[in-house]
Amino acid sequence: MSSPVSSIRNLGPAMDSACAQAGITSAEDLRDLGTDETYRRLLKTGTRPHFIGYYVIEMGLQGRPWNDCKGKEKDRLRARFDAIVAETKNSPESELEKMLNLIGTGARR
């Protein structure tokens, strides 16, 4: 039996929905993927990059409050986040996204 993504500390219904769009349908899936791969998949399916959203996942997977991320740990997470965002921006666009960008209705960046 699987648990909803929102059963992980700090994550709620909005994260359930975003993860479902990225093919992550359970807390177990998210735990198996880890923060970086989960966030990479969220970005690829249209989630706008936001550092707090990234570290909320990391803190939740550790069972910690979302605002417990501080100092050098936060700096290390920021570097990981920035790398994932840069990598995702440089990845090939899907054919659908290319077409949507051509007609001016693609995702805002």
Chain segment 7-29, per-residue pLDDT in tens: 999 999 999 999 999 999 999 99
Chain segment 58-82, per-residue pLDDT in tens: 999 999 999 999 999 999 999 999 9
Separate counts of helices (H) and strands (E) for the chain? 5, 0
CA torsion 85-86-87-88 (nearest 10°) is 50
Least confident range of 36-40, 84-88, 89-93:
89-93
CATH 1.20.1110.10 describes domain 5-102: no
